[in-house]
């Protein structure tokens, strides 16, 4: 009997899977921190025959080569994908045996050229299908990560791959995608959820509810949004094959070294909540709260080769941040600080802070000669914007500081998280900042005019 165990990585919007027959397993699309997958294998007393990679990933560093080495397994990857480590190269229709399970390879190009789906059967009438970045819940994987000039071509291949899978499998077959749970690798109206079947996807999936390939491609391409800057480094890293991770605590800094790192322009990241960071922090640090989007945010604004120092209230917070960062290729922080932020200040040094406000606090009088800065993505701003606001997406902010006026900047995003990160970047560069720590849905409470979506492009 087939059992599929889900190992979610909610921080990146991905899932890995352990598929087994009670004795032997295959692991599908493992994240870099393989200890979580090894714990599942050990808990169920499973051997591991293969590590199945649906594609060379663009959104995280795979733990496949290390997991396979540790468990005496083989990595399986498309013959179309050249990698630098030992693996089993497979093509459409190839079959592998793992215990009583049969794994059939189905080529499903689109998300990448060499993308594969794996159909796993125990001989019964209903197999399970591991779809990677092809057929997601409600949608499909984006097609602009391989080469932006080939986006439309790959979108057409993605459409055909989705239809091929749906035609190949019985409606009862459960679908297990890797992406689509908040991942920037997904495109269209991904629904998330805990489970789906081929039959359900036929009723709701962007690629399956229409036979009009041209309409699907046009909609997919028009709906593509910005994706994190670190994505460009993931493919090469995964072709090379990453080594094991080290989650031990980095060297701890004292106040003198910390101030030296800040003075040198290094990135010093405060892991506390956004309210705690706003209330008091070492000047020159940025606050990136240790929440689900932590690694994505850091990887989007900080160059992957830049030294990073992590400041946490506890060693557990620092280690949790490290776990998120190794998944995107930031293997070791340069240093860390643990404890109360006040312990690192010089005797005559005051903690920096910035004001938090709501949209209801934003009036012409309170704004004065200040400027509202919108750090949402381009696609978010299309849904409406404050007239007169400047638009600088968070991921562009470090490179565009020179475009901003030296006035008080009232910064907002969609809910307050990115605005707090932006405030740290701006304050680090010498700007006076107020954070609109509020939900965009409340923007109408501001005394300023909110442009509707049809004219939001006028609000720059």
Nearest-angstrom CA–CA distance, 239 and 234: 9
Domain-located, residue 307: yes
Residue 332 and residue 204 share a domain: no
The whole domain housing 281 covers 255-344
Average pLDDT, the chain: 94
Q: Which residues pair with 77 in a beta bridge?
A: 89
Residue 361 and residue 439 share a domain: yes
Residue 458's pLDDT is what? 33
The 10s digit of each residue's pLDDT in 358-387 is 999 999 999 999 999 999 999 999 889 999
**Confidence band for 97, pLDDT divided at 50, 70 and 90:** very high
Q: Does the pLDDT at position 181 exceed 90?
A: no
Residue 456's pLDDT is what? 40
Domain-located, residue 107: yes
End of a domain among 201, 217, 240? 240
End of a domain among 186, 211, 240? 240
Helix, strand or coil, per DSSP, at residue 103: strand
List of E strands, 247-366: 267-270, 286-287, 308-312, 335-338, 355-357
- Asked if 353 contacts 361 with a C-beta cutoff of 8 angstroms, the reply is no
Domain-located, residue 378: yes
Task: Give mean pLDDT, residues 2-10.
Answer: 96
- Asked if 155 contacts 221 with a C-beta cutoff of 8 angstroms, the reply is yes
Nearest-angstrom CA–CA distance, 266 and 12: 25
Residue 200 and residue 123 share a domain: yes
Residue 282 and residue 158 share a domain: no
Task: Give mean pLDDT, residues 337-352.
Answer: 89
Domain-located, residue 350: no
Domain-located, residue 248: no
Residue 340 and residue 359 share a domain: no
Residue 182's pLDDT is what? 85
Residue 330's pLDDT is what? 95
End of a domain among 178, 208, 240? 240
Residue 192's pLDDT is what? 64
Residue 9 phi, psi (nearest 5): -120, 80
Residue 362 and residue 219 share a domain: no
Residue 310 and residue 232 share a domain: no
Strand pairing report for 385-386 and 116-121? unpaired
Most confident stretch, 32-46, 184-198, 343-357: 32-46
Residue 193 and residue 63 share a domain: yes
Helix, strand or coil, per DSSP, at residue 112: coil
Structure tokens that stand for 127 in this block: 């197999």
Structure tokens that stand for 111 in this block: 């998300």
Q: How many domains does the chain have?
A: 3
Domain-located, residue 247: no
Mark out the alpha helices in 264-307 (DSSP H runs): 274-279, 294-301
Q: Which residue has the tokens 């791959």?
A: 161
**Confidence band for 453, pLDDT divided at 50, 70 and 90:** low
Residue 193 and residue 47 share a domain: yes
Task: Give mean pLDDT, residues 184-191.
Answer: 73
Residue 360's pLDDT is what? 96
Residue 379 and residue 334 share a domain: no
**Which CATH number do you get for residue 57?**
3.60.15.10
Domain-located, residue 367: yes
The 10s digit of each residue's pLDDT in 15-27 is 999 999 999 999 9
Residue 457's pLDDT is what? 39
Q: Does the pLDDT at position 125 exceed 70?
A: yes
Residue 405 and residue 338 share a domain: no
**Which CATH number do you get for residue 386?**
3.40.250.10
Buried b (16+ CB within 10 A) or exposed e, 377-392: beebbeebbbeebbbb
**Confidence band for 189, pLDDT divided at 50, 70 and 90:** low
- Asked if 227 contacts 142 with a C-beta cutoff of 8 angstroms, the reply is yes
Domain-located, residue 138: yes
Buried b (16+ CB within 10 A) or exposed e, 197-206: bbebbeeebb
Residue 212 and residue 340 share a domain: no
């Amino acid at each position: 009997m087939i059992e599929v165990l889900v190992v979610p990585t909610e921080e990146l919007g991905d899932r890995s899977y352990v598929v087994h027959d009670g004795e032997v397993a295959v692991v599908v699309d493992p994240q870099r921190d393989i200890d979580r997958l090894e714990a599942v294998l050990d808990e169920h007393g499973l051997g591991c025959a293969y590590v199945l990679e649906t594609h060379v990933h663009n959104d995280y560093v795979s733990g496949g080569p290390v997991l396979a080495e540790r468990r005496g397994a083989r990595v399986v990857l498309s013959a179309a994908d050249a990698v630098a480590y030992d693996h089993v190269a497979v093509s459409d229709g190839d079959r592998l045996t793992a215990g009583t399970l049969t794994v059939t390879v189905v080529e499903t190009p689109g998300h990448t050229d060499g993308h594969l789906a794996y159909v796993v059967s125990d001989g019964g009438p209903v197999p399970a299908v591991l779809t990677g970045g092809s057929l997601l819940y409600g949608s499909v994987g984006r097609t602009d990560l391989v080469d932006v000039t080939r986006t439309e071509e790959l979108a057409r291949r993605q459409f055909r791959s989705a239809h091929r899978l749906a035609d190949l499998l019985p409606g009862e077959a459960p679908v297990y995608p890797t992406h689509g749970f908040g991942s920037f690798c997904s495109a269209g109206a991904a629904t998330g959820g805990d489970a789906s079947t081929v039959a359900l996807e036929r009723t709701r999936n962007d690629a399956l509810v229409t036979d009009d390939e041209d309409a699907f491609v046009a909609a997919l391409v028009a709906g593509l949004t910005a994706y994190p800057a670190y994505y460009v480094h993931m493919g090469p890293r995964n072709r090379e094959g990453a080594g094991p991770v080290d989650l031990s605590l980095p060297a701890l800094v004292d106040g003198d070294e910390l101030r030296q790192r800040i003075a040198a322009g290094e990135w010093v990241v405060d892991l506390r909540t956004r309210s705690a960071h706003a209330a008091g922090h070492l000047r020159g640090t940025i606050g990136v709260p240790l929440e689900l989007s932590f690694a994505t945010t850091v990887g989007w604004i900080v160059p992957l080769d830049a030294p990073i120092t992590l400041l946490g209230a506890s060693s557990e917070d620092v280690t949790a941040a490290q776990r998120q960062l190794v998944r995107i290729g930031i293997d070791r922080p340069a240093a860390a600080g643990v404890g109360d932020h006040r312990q690192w200040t010089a005797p005559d040094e005051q903690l920096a802070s910035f004001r938090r406000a709501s949209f209801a606090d934003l009036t012409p009088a309170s704004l004065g000669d200040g400027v509202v800065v919108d750090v949402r993505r381009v696609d978010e701003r299309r849904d409406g914007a404050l007239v007169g606001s400047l638009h600088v997406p968070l991921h562009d902010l470090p490179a565009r500081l020179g475009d901003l006026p030296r006035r008080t900047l009232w910064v907002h995003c969609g809910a307050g998280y990115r605005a707090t990160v932006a405030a740290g970047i701006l304050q680090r560069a010498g700007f006076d900042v107020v954070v609109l720590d509020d939900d965009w849905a409340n923007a109408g409470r501001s005394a300023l005019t909110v442009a509707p979506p049809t004219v939001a492009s006028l609000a720059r």
